[in-house]
C-alpha cells in the first residue's frame, strides 16, 4: 500500500498544526515505525517508553509530543501526538477513490433503493426493499437482505451479511465476514425436542460503530438488538439477541455477550470475556481479558476472573494461590508444634498432678 | 419486520387452544414485550419473575399460564405459555413466501440435482453432483460443494459453505457464514515440518439440527463428524474432526470441541466452554460457561472451571479462594499463639525443672 | 468421498517402502479406522494404545510400526507409521483434478494477473493488480483484493477474503470463511469518541502456512502482520495487527493473539488461549488450553492458567485448591487445640503461681 506521495516538513507542520524544529524543506515520502524508518520517512514517538528506540532511529523526521527530547532529526511537535499520528497517516494514505455505481455483476432487487453516490461492488446481492444511502460502499460478495438499511457513508466490506430488516446508521464500518441479524439462539424444550422461538426482531447499529471481521450480532426475538453510537467491536465477537451495548464502548476480539444483556457506555470488555445472559454492566466498567461474568458489574467497576471478582481482590487471591504450597507447609508445621506442646503440657500436668 | 396482519382474541384463543378471559372481539395487530407493548398489541407472561412488569404493562391483551393473576387486560390462558408463545409469534410472523426456482445468477453444475420445489438464491454456487432436496432454500452467495446433499425443507442461509461431500438431513437450518466440512486440523511433525494428514472423511448433520452464524464443523480424517438430530449449535462454535454430538444437545456460542470427542444426548455446553480431544461427555451432562474439560464427564454430571470440577465443589472452592486472605491471617495468628505457648511452657518447665 | 481405486499389498508396500508380512496379492480398496474397517480395507495402528482395537479389527491388512505385534492380518511394517499413513491416505484419495482456467462467472479485474495454470472458481472476485500464481486454486465466491498476491500452488478455498495488498507465499492453504487483512483494532479516545488509527500496513503469509475456517488475521497499522513458513492455524483464530508468528508453530482453534505480539518458532498455543498485546512467546513454548497470557513466556516454557503460571506449579495449585475445604477444617481444629492448650497452660500457671 505504498504511495507515490510526499510532503515537505513545512507542509506537514501546517496540516498537523505542529511547531517545526528543523529543516522545513526536508521531504518525506512515508510514515514508518522507529525501527524501520529510513531517512526519507517520518516516524513518531507517541509513547515515551520508546524514547530509546527514537534516539536510535534513522528516520528523517519525527512527530512527537511536548516532553520528547534528544530526537536525532527534525521534529514536528504537537500537544496530542497520537491524534496527530492519525492525521499524518491519513495524509500519506488517503482513502482510495471509488467510483460510485453498481457493478454490472451485482444483483440488486428492482425495488431496492441505491443512492446515486453509493458504490455496490461486484457480485454483491441487495434484496428487495433494501436502502443503500449516499456515499455508502458495499463490497464485493456482500449481502444486504430484504428491507435492510445502510446509512450514509457506511462501508460494508466484502463478504459481509447484513440480514433482512437490519438497520445500520451513518459512517458504520463492517469488516469482511461479519454477520448482522442472524437468528438469536432461543428454544423451548417440549419434553421431546427443542422447539425454536421465532426470532422476529431486528438489529440497530447506530452511527460510527465499527464491527470486526467474522463478528456475529444476532437479531432480537422481539424488538431490537442495539449497538449505540461510536462503539467498536473487534473480530469474532458474539452479541446475542436483545443485547444493548451503550455508546463508545470497546469490545475486544472473541468476547461473547449472552442474550438480553445491558452493556453501558464507555465500557471495556477485553479479549475473550464472556457475559452470562440478562446481566447489566455499568457505564465505564472495565472487564479484564478472559473474565466470565455471572453477576452485574457496577459503573466504573474493574473486575477479573471466572467468575469475576473486583480486580484488586482477584489479583490478591491469585498471589495467595501461588503461596498455597507454602501455606500448607506452615499449617503442617503448626500441627506438629501443637502435638509437641500437647505432649509436653500433658507431661507437665502429670508431674503436677 | 412489522406485518399488516391482525387477529381478534377469539381467533387467537382458538389457534392457541387457550381459554379466553375478556373481550373476545378485541383486535391485536402484533406481539410485543411487556415493557413496550401498546393497547393494540398482545404481550406475554411466561415467567412469573416478570409479574410486576406485567401489571404495569399497557398491552391490549396477555398470553399467560395458569398461575398468573391480576393482569391488566384480557388473558389468553394456556398450560404451557412458552410453547404457546411460539405459536403466537408464528401467527403474526408467518415465514416469508419464497418462490421456488433457481435464481438466474446462481451457478449450478449441470449434474447437480435441484428439486423443483427448492429455491436457490442469487449468486449461490452448487457444484457437481450436489443434491438439493424438496422445499430446500439455498440463500444468496451460499456454496454447496461437489457431492454434498441438503435434505428436505432445510434452509442454508446466505453465505454458508457446505463443503464437498457433506450431508445435511431434513429441516436443518444453517446460518450465514457457517462452514461445514473444512479440513480437520491434523498434522504429523516429521522433524522438519508439520506434514498434513489428508482429511478425507466427511460430515453428517442429522434432521432438525440448527447451526449458528460463522460456526465451523470440520470434516473427519476418515469416517464422519456427526451432529445427531435436534441438536442446536449457536454462533462461532468450533467442532473438530471426528467429533460426534448426540441428539437434542445445546452448544452455546464460542464453544470449542476438539477432535474425536463423544458428546452425549441432551448435553448442555454453555458459552465458551472448551473440550480437549478424545473426551466423552455423558448424556444429560451440563458444563458451565467458560469451563475447560480435560477429563471425561459422566452422565448428568454438572461441572465447572478450568480444569472442570463438579459444580458444587467448584463453587465451594471459589468461596474459599475469596477467604484466602482471612485464612492467611488466621494461620499467622495461630503461629503467634503457638510461639507464645512454647515460650510460656518452656518457662514453666524451667520452673518445674 | 469413496473412490473406485484399489491396490494390492505388494503395490502398497512398494509405495510406502514398507516390509510386507502376509499375502502380497491381497487387494484393498480403501483405508478405514480399526473399528470400522472391513476385509477389503486396510487399517492402521500408529499408536500402541489402540493395540487391543487392532487385535479385534476385521481389516484386511494393517499398516504398523516396528513394535506392533499379534495383528490379525497381513502387515505393512514401517518405521514411521504416522507418516506412512499420510502417504497411504494420499494414494487412496488423490487430490481431485481441477482444470485450470477462470470460471466464466468469476469477476477478474482487467489488470489482475492470473497464471495460465491457475484455477479461479465460479463467482470469485479478483480485484485490480492482484497476482494469482501458477497452479493456484481460488475457490468459488472467494475474494482477492486489489494488489494482493497468492503464491504458487496455494489453495484459497471457497468464500475466503484475501484483502487488498495481502501476500500469500507458496503452497499456502486458506479454508472457507477466513479473512486475511481486515483492519487492525486501533483507536485513540479523544475525549469524545474513539478515533480510528488508519490501518495502512499489510499481511505476509509465508510458504506452507495453513489457515483454518473463519480465522481472522488483521493487517498491520504500519508494516506487516507476519505468519512465518510452515505454521498451522486452526479455525476461528484471531491474530491482531502487527503480530509476528514464527515458523512451524501450531495455533489451535479459537486462540486470540493481541496486537504486536511476537510468537516464536515451534510454539504450541492450545485451544482458546488468549495472549495480551505486545508479549513475546519464546521458541518451543507450549501454552495449555484456555490459558491467558499477561506476561512473556520463555523459550520451551510450559505454562497454564489465567493468568498463566509454569505448568507444574499450576497443576500443584489446582490440587491444593481442591484441598481447601480440608485445609480450612485443619486450621479450625488447630485453633481449637490452641485455645484448649492456652486454657490448660493458664490453669497450670495459676496452680504454679
pLDDT, position A4: 56
**Mean pLDDT (whole number) for A91-118:** 95
pLDDT, position A64: 97
pLDDT, position A348: 85
| C327 and chain A in contact, CB less than 8 A | yes
DSSP-derived letter for residue B44 is: E
pLDDT, position C349: 84
Considering only residues 105 to 134 of chain B, which have any Cβ-Cβ distance to chain C shorter than 8 Å?
Answer: 107, 123, 125, 127
Q: What is the distance between the alpha carbons of residues B219 and B243, in angstroms, rounded to a whole number?
A: 9
Spans of chain B below 50 pLDDT: 1-3
- β C274-275/C256-257 pair status: parallel
> Does the model's ipTM exceed the 0.90 cut?
yes
Q: What is the pLDDT of residues C205-247, one digit of tens each?
A: 999 999 999 999 999 999 999 999 999 999 999 999 999 999 9
Q: What is the CATH number of domain B102-312?
A: 2.160.10.10
CA distance A208 to chain B (A): 24
3-class SS string, chain A: CCCCCCEEHHHHHHHHCCEEECCCCCEECEECCCCCCCCCEEEEECCHHHHHHHHCCCCCEEEECCCCCCCCCCEEECCCHHHHHHHHHHHHCCCCCCCCEECCCCEECCCCEECCCCEECCCCEECCCCEECCCCEECCCCEECCCCEECCCCEECCCCEECCCCEECCCCEECCCCEEEECCCCEEECCCCEEECCCCCEEEECCCCEECCCCEEECCCCCEEEECCCCEECCCCEECCCCEECCCCEECCCCEECCCCEECCCCEECCCCEECCCCEECCCCEECCCCEECCCECCCCEEECCCCEEHHHHHHHHHHHHCHHHHHHHHHHHHHHHHHHHHHHHHHHHHHC
pLDDT, position A352: 73
CATH 3.40.1390.10 fits C7-92, yes or no: yes
Fold of C101-312: UDP N-Acetylglucosamine Acyltransferase; domain 1 (2.160.10)
Residues of A acting as catalytic residues: 241
To the nearest whole percent, how much of chain A has pLDDT over 70? 99
**Mean pLDDT (whole number) for A110-125:** 98
Considering only residues 268 to 287 of chain B, which have any Cβ-Cβ distance to chain A shorter than 8 Å?
Answer: 271-272
pLDDT, position C98: 85
CA distance C184 to chain B (A): 20
Cell numbers standing for residue A105: 455483476
- B interface test, pick of A149, A161, A196 with most B CB neighbours within 10 Å: A161
Residue C2 has pLDDT above 50, yes or no: no
Q: What is the distance between the alpha carbons of residues B85 and A303, in angstroms, rounded to a whole number?
A: 37
pLDDT, position B352: 73
Q: Cβ contacts (< 8 Å) between B190 and chain C: which residues?
A: 80, 83
Q: What is the pLDDT of residues C115-167, one digit of tens each?
A: 999 999 999 999 999 999 999 999 999 999 999 999 999 999 999 999 999 99
**Mean pLDDT (whole number) for A78-84:** 95
Q: Are A54 and A63 in contact (CB under 8 A)?
A: no
Q: Cβ contacts (< 8 Å) between B216 and chain C: which residues?
A: 177, 212-214, 235-236, 253
Residue found by looking up cell 473480530 in the block? A235
pTM tops 0.90: yes
Q: What is the pLDDT of residues C80-111, one digit of tens each?
A: 999 999 999 999 999 888 899 999 999 999 99
Q: What is the pLDDT of residues A15-48, one digit of tens each?
A: 999 999 999 999 999 999 999 999 999 999 998 8
Q: What is the pLDDT of residues A209-244, one digit of tens each?
A: 999 999 999 999 999 999 999 999 999 999 999 999
**Mean pLDDT (whole number) for A121-127:** 98
Residue A59 has pLDDT above 80, yes or no: yes
Strand partners, C77: C19, C64
Considering only residues 183 to 212 of chain B, which have any Cβ-Cβ distance to chain C shorter than 8 Å?
Answer: 183, 185, 187-190, 193-198, 200-202
DSSP-derived letter for residue C348 is: H
Residue A6 has pLDDT above 90, yes or no: yes
CA distance B262 to chain C (A): 15
| B307 and chain A in contact, CB less than 8 A | no
Q: What is the pLDDT of residues A243-265, one digit of tens each?
A: 999 999 999 999 999 999 999 99
**Mean pLDDT (whole number) for A305-332:** 96
Q: Are A210 and A232 in contact (CB under 8 A)?
A: yes
| C89 and chain B in contact, CB less than 8 A | yes
Q: What is the pLDDT of residues C168-216, one digit of tens each?
A: 999 999 999 999 999 999 999 999 999 999 999 999 999 999 999 999 9
Q: pLDDT grade, residue C353 (50/70/90)?
A: low
pLDDT, position A167: 98
Q: What is the pLDDT of residues B150-203, one digit of tens each?
A: 999 999 999 999 999 999 999 999 999 999 999 999 999 999 999 999 999 999
pLDDT, position B351: 82
pLDDT, position B1: 39
Q: What is the distance between the alpha carbons of residues C165 and C218, in angstroms, rounded to a whole number?
A: 12
Lowest average pLDDT, out of A92-96, A246-250, A339-343, B311-315, goes to A92-96
Mean pLDDT score of chain A: 96
pLDDT, position B4: 56
Radius of gyration for the alpha carbons in chain A, expressed in angstroms and rounded = 29
Q: Cβ contacts (< 8 Å) between A193 and chain B: which residues?
A: 208, 230, 248
Structural domain spans, chain B: 7-92, 102-312, 323-353
Mean pLDDT score of chain C: 96
CA distance A292 to chain B (A): 7
Cα separations in angstroms, C45 against B191, C64, C81: 21, 5, 8
Amino acid at each position: 500500500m505504498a504511495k507515490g506521495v510526499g510532503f515537505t516538513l513545512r507542509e506537514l507542520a501546517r496540516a498537523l498544526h505542529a511547531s517545526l524544529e528543523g529543516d522545513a524543506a526536508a521531504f518525506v515520502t512515508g510514515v514508518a515505525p522507529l525501527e524501520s524508518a529510513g531517512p526519507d520517512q517520518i516516524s513518531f514517538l507517541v509513547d515515551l517508553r520508546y524514547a530509546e528506540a527514537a534516539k536510535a532511529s534513522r528516520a528523517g523526521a519525527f512527530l512527537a509530543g511536548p516532553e520528547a527530547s534528544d530526537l536525532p532529526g527534525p521534529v514536528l511537535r504537537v500537544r496530542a501526538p497520537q491524534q496527530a499520528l492519525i492525521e499524518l497517516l491519513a495524509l500519506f494514505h488517503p482513502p482510495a477513490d471509488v467510483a460510485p455505481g453498481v457493478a454490472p455483476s451485482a444483483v440488486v432487487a428492482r425495488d431496492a433503493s441505491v443512492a446515486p453516490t453509493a458504490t455496490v461492488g461486484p457480485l454483491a446481492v441487495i434484496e428487495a426493499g433494501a436502502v443503500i444511502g449516499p456515499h455508502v460502499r458495499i463490497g464485493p460478495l456482500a449481502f444486504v437482505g430484504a428491507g435492510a438499511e445502510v446509512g450514509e457513508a457506511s462501508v460494508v466490506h466484502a463478504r459481509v451479511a447484513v440480514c433482512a430488516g437490519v438497520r445500520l446508521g451513518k459512517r458504520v464500518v463492517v469488516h469482511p465476514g461479519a454477520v448482522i441479524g442472524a437468528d438469536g439462539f432461543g428454544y423451548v424444550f417440549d419434553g421431546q425436542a427443542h422447539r425454536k422461538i421465532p426470532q422476529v426482531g431486528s438489529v440497530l447499529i447506530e452511527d460510527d460503530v465499527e464491527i470486526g471481521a467474522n463478528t456475529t450480532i444476532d437479531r432480537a426475538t422481539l424488538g431490537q438488538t442495539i449497538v449505540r453510537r461510536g462503539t467498536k467491536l473487534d473480530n469474532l465477537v458474539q452479541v446475542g439477541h436483545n443485547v444493548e451495548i451503550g455508546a463508545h464502548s470497546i469490545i475486544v476480539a472473541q468476547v461473547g455477550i449472552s442474550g438480553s444483556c445491558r452493556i453501558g457506555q464507555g465500557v471495556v470488555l477485553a479479549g475473550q470475556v464472556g457475559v452470562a445472559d440478562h446481566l447489566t454492566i455499568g457505564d465505564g466498567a472495565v472487564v479484564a481479558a478472559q473474565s466470565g461474568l455471572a453477576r452485574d458489574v457496577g459503573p466504573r467497576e474493574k473486575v477479573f476472573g471466572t467468575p469475576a471478582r473486583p480486580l484488586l481482590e482477584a489479583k490478591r487471591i491469585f498471589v495467595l494461590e501461588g503461596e498455597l504450597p507454602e501455606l500448607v507447609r506452615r499449617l503442617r508445621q503448626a500441627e506438629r508444634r501443637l502435638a509437641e506442646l500437647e505432649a509436653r503440657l500433658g507431661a507437665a500436668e502429670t508431674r503436677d498432678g
